[in-house]
């Protein structure tokens, strides 16, 4: 892909399922348009507007459902036009006067932008390196000690220059052609939702989550949230694009994100151990991501509050700097206090039973109150912290990885089995004595216990957890520096 294609924000579509009709008869007032792209069912479609687009000789014709979706900036190598009569886009083509200009425009505009982008990337990299924590002490994963701890290099450039304005990925026109530009390398994970593949795009590794047809609503939900909510945060998985493609006569639903080679926290903890500082770094980063989700930001490009509803170690990825980022927003709930709006989605899939809070298991949760969903996230956060602390080495003692409640329920517990353990017997995961002998871990133990209160309203908030962990991190850094001075 040429550099100018990265800036081809031709059509801004706030994803809300409001596509034009791709086949069949439209409404009486709709236009019939020539349809020539990967979404076409027939040679024509119906909508309010017809459009023609040429991106470096790649032609795209179709229809849009509203005039708000037509935005045509001046971009080198790109020509587009909207029209408003039946089949008006059938014979449109790029004017001859524009054909010879792209190279000159790229030299005049593209090169300075490229230099500026490289300078910005260099500054961001330097700042991140300055902020870098001490290396994570772990077991047979030396790649964690690498100096680069951030997202892939294209992440900052895309979010700075190529967003659609409301979301955190690429412009919609670029998204809708992603599947044709990505080369899948190998499968890195499978689950009930589908598969995750490592792919290559523009010379960089990306993660491609391919949803199964039965989990279509999760794909729609994640796509909707990522394309309409400003979610850019170092502890939220970076979104690139969402696409629908056809493979072997079947439709595939793709979600393209940044790739993290260490995989999920669940996979990482199987073979790797942590020191107390590494444990604190992971817990703090996960909590920071959750705070960003839970917080409503009131500004021009703000965001509503979001509750995850399926927080677990399999839905958290480990970055090379020892921090984590939260993934999988297929069950997320959205709330805007400013206009009293609560959107729970229409996904029939429930969360993971092992991580369900008592009020979910006994069905006493107040489903019309957004705060209730945040409180279930806090319960799950405490369980994730428990998984991390089990794999933390204190005085040479470390426990094998086990999932929460491994000693009281089977590997795939039923709803009723979890309800009996958590609600009736009110059991909590056991805590090893070694955790109380270290100042960092003893504080995390206290936090976990306050995340596991039976009463949802008594639990800590994500913001309170982050403040406590941040202070612990600052105090520990001070102690280390003081020790160096004394020596």
CATH number where 272 lies = 1.10.510.10
Determine the pLDDT at residue 479.
59
Which of 99, 122, 138 is the C-terminal boundary of a domain?
A: 99
Instruction: Specify if 113 maps to a domain.
Output: no
179 and 44 housed in the same domain: no
Cα-based distances in Å from 191 to 16, 117, 194, 279: 27, 38, 5, 27
The enclosing domain of 32 has a CATH number of 2.10.60.10
CA gap 19, 258 in Å, rounded: 27
Determine the pLDDT at residue 384.
98
Sheet of strand 239-247: strand arrangement: 183-191, 194-201, 204-211, 250-258, 239-247
- As averages over each run of 10 residues, the pLDDT of the chain (487 residues) reads 41 37 63 79 82 76 72 60 87 65 62 76 64 38 32 41 43 59 86 85 89 83 81 91 77 90 96 96 98 89 90 96 94 88 82 96 94 97 98 96 97 96 97 95 97 97 97 75 46
Determine the pLDDT at residue 39.
63
C-alpha radius of gyration, the chain, whole number: 25
**Three-state secondary structure call for residue 5:** helix
Determine the pLDDT at residue 177.
61
Domain holding 232, by residue range, is 153-258
C-beta of residue 285 within 8 angstroms of C-beta of residue 325: yes
**Three-state secondary structure call for residue 353:** helix
Determine the pLDDT at residue 110.
67
200 and 289 housed in the same domain: no
State the DSSP H helix or E strand holding residue 186, giving kind and residue range, or none if neither: strand 183-191
400 and 418 housed in the same domain: yes
Question: Annotated catalytic, 479?
Answer: no
CA gap 85, 31 in Å, rounded: 6
Closest CA to 321 of 102, 145, 89, 65: 145
Determine the pLDDT at residue 165.
35
Which of 242, 258, 274 is the C-terminal boundary of a domain?
A: 258
The enclosing domain of 159 has a CATH number of 3.30.200.20
Instruction: Specify if 408 maps to a domain.
Output: yes
Among the listed residues 310, 343, 362, 412, the single catalytic one is 310
C-beta of residue 59 within 8 angstroms of C-beta of residue 92: no
Contacts of 74 (CB under 8 A, 6+ apart): none
Q: What is the pTM of this model?
A: 0.66
177 and 67 housed in the same domain: no
Instruction: Specify if 141 maps to a domain.
Output: no
């Amino acid at each position: 892909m040429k550099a100018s294609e990265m800036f081809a924000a031709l059509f801004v579509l706030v994803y809300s399922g409001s596509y034009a009709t791709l086949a069949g008869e439209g409404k009486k007032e709709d236009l019939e348009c020539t349809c020539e792209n990967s979404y076409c069912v027939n040679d024509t479609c119906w909508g309010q507007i017809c459009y023609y687009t040429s991106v470096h000789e790649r032609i795209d014709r179709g229809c849009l459902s509203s005039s708000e979706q037509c935005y045509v900036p001046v971009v080198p190598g790109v020509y587009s036009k909207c029209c408003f009569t039946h089949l008006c886009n059938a014979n449109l083509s790029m004017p001859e006067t524009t054909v010879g200009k792209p190279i000159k425009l790229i030299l005049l505009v593209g090169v300075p932008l490229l230099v500026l982008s490289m300078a910005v990337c260099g500054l961001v990299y330097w700042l991140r390196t300055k902020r870098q924590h001490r290396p994570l002490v772990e077991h047979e994963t030396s790649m964690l000690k690498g100096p680069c701890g951030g997202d892939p290099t294209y992440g900052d450039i895309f979010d700075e220059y190529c967003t659609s304005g409301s979301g955190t990925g690429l412009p919609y026109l670029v998204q809708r052609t992603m599947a044709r530009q990505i080369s899948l390398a190998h499968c890195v994970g499978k689950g009930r939702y589908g598969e995750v593949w490592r792919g290559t795009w523009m010379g960089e590794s990306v993660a491609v989550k391919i949803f199964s047809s039965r989990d279509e609503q999760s794909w729609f939900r994640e796509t909707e949230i990522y394309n309409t909510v400003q979610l850019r945060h170092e502890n939220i998985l970076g979104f690139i694009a969402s696409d629908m493609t056809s493979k072997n006569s079947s439709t595939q639903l793709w979600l393209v994100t940044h790739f993290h080679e260490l995989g999920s926290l669940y996979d990482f903890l199987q073979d790797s151990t942590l020191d107390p500082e590494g444990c604190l770094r992971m817990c703090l980063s996960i909590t920071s991501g959750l705070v960003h989700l839970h917080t409503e930001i009131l500004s021009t490009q703000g965001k509503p509050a979001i509750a995850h509803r399926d927080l677990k170690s399999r839905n958290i990825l480990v970055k090379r700097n020892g921090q984590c980022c939260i993934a999988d927003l297929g069950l997320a709930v959205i709330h805007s206090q400013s206009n009293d709006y609560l959107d729970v989605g229409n996904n029939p899939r429930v969360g993971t039973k092992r991580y369900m809070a008592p009020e979910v298991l006994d069905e006493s949760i107040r489903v019309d109150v957004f705060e209730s969903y945040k409180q279930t996230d806090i319960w799950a956060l405490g369980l994730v912290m428990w998984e991390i602390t089990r794999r933390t080495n204190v005085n040479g003692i470390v426990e094998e990885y086990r999932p929460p409640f491994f000693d009281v329920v089977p590997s795939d517990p039923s709803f009723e089995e979890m309800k009996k353990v958590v609600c009736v017997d009110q059991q909590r995961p056991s805590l090893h004595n070694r955790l109380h002998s270290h100042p960092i871990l003893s504080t995390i133990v206290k936090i976990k216990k306050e995340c596991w209160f039976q009463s949802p309203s008594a639990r800590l908030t994500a913001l309170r957890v982050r403040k406590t962990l941040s202070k612990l991190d600052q105090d520990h850094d001070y102690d280390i520096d003081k020790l160096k001075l004394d020596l």
